[in-house]
Structure 1
Amino acid sequence: MSVDQLSVSLSKEQAYALVDAVAERDELALTASAHENEETGEWVFEATCDSPPDVEAFNALAREVLGGEVSFTVEAIDPEINWVAKSLEGLAPVIAGGFYVYGSHSTEDVPEGLTPMRIEAAQAFGTGHHETTTGCLEAIEMVLRKRTPSRMIDVGTGTGVLAIALAKRVDAKILATDIDPIAVTTTIENARDNGVGAQIDTIEATGLDHAEIQARAPYDLVVANILAGPLTELAPGMGEITQASGKAILSGILNTQADGVIAAYQAAGFTLVDHLKRKDWTTLILQKR
């Protein structure tokens, strides 16, 4: 199979916004990622596509998401190389919510007093570097200061970073779900590598109708770092699986989309507890009435 890499230099916020937009268009790319060029300091958006990529479709999406024209570069690549993982190998450790998130390439000592999580670059979203993930880690710390949940679910787990964070802090089972089988496999591997494999159960599931999700409900803590559109669609189901006084931590939401998501969850029986903003991105903490 012939594979091409489509790339463009952008700001960090633009690169991640384009990654999120491409994630909603499965036909455009096999994978999409954003990373910092160590030599120039520029942020780069990269997409791995079947050859030839639909450059005009990418241009139209960039105009819609970024509000202007960009100049994509297309280069033939070796399909045997995991280019997403390769582009993420140089990322520095992240500190958020009392957690220290790092990759195996990191040679730094874990600072005293922080909870370490080793999350490897992989073909799944969530290395801890995006503002949505750091916002969720901070929100988890805020919630756990006030209560210790016993029934938890991570919807759209990606690499499993949020499920692992919960398992590191709470001695209870966490159900981690994702629509992508690669994400499920990645979560299993990362949970095992972090010594919490026995605490995290993973399933491939679209939405919240899966029998395992329903059987374990109601949950006293739901976390979901996906996108505003799917979060809004899931609001009624989230209301059904969350117990009274249970908390929900939601992210993957642009600041401009926050009011719409909040309204959807208020209609589903939630009250807004806190609204964290990290650059262009929002993380919400809500409580079921």
Structure 2
Amino acid sequence: MKKDINIPVIEPNGMDSFHFSGVSWPFNVSKDHNLFHINRIENYRDKLSFPLPPHRKTVYDLIFLTKGSSIRSKGLANYEFGVGQFFFLPPYQITSHEFMSKDAQGYFVHFDIDILKHYSLDKHLNKFNFLNFLSNPVVSVSTEAVDPILNIFHRLEVLDQETENKQMELIAFYVFALLKEASLFAGNDLKPQKNAAASLVQRYKEALSQFIYQKQKVSDYADYLHVTPNHLNKCVKSITMKSSQDLLNEMMILEAKSLLKYSNLHIAEIAIKLGNQTPSNFARFFKSKTGMMPKEYK
């Protein structure tokens, strides 16, 4: 259901007003809310009204259910998940939350990459395929793993409730422990790629997801990443077997599809938003990559 002209980008300090719009209810937000937050779903569920409209967040988030079920989108696909399953979402990914059963219980966590960067843990994120932009976000864990995972969540709860001298280092390592636990059950988990090319490609993908409306040339991204376009292209090809332009085109098409599906923007407005194109040029580009005209897809 299309509600918004544009798909909003929400920072942590704006999440409560977005998720609980129209609800008169006191929110307890810590000073470190932008870096990390955890809450039990059962404490918030009855305050939420589903479906939640499409949006982006500037942080990673995850849900783990111990009871009930939910349906949430990542990009253009909906995913149903339930007891003993994680749902992961990377920053700047379009999502909408279609449904959550009234008996749902479990945990919601968001964290900023800076909390991991400060302790040099961010360089390991490319090990976790479920955090990638185009991967399956749902990870099912074994029954035996549930209690150890819940112990980590409980420890994070306790650490987050500290009002003075919050131990952010411990929080960062427990967040990483959650990701590591999930990776043990992610069948599509990537073998870690530790070379500089893999790191650059990951940064390029992250930049594409964040700046696709502002930058539509490979050279713009190369400048942002402080490399030459040729070097960026060589690294992308060595890791993905695609060109840097291919990845840019894929992101442009994903954004176009998302705007056609979720927003009330006219095709001409989408054409301008994605590279200041004319409607006819945008239509040709879209058809060359998808086999159909924007109007057909819409």
In the superposition, the TM-score normalised over structure 1's length comes to 0.30
Q: State the TM-score, normalized to the length of structure 2.
A: 0.29
- Greater share of helix: 2
Which protein is richer in strand relative to its size?
Answer: 1
Higher relative contact order at CA 8 Å, sep ≥6: structure 1 or structure 2? Answer: 2
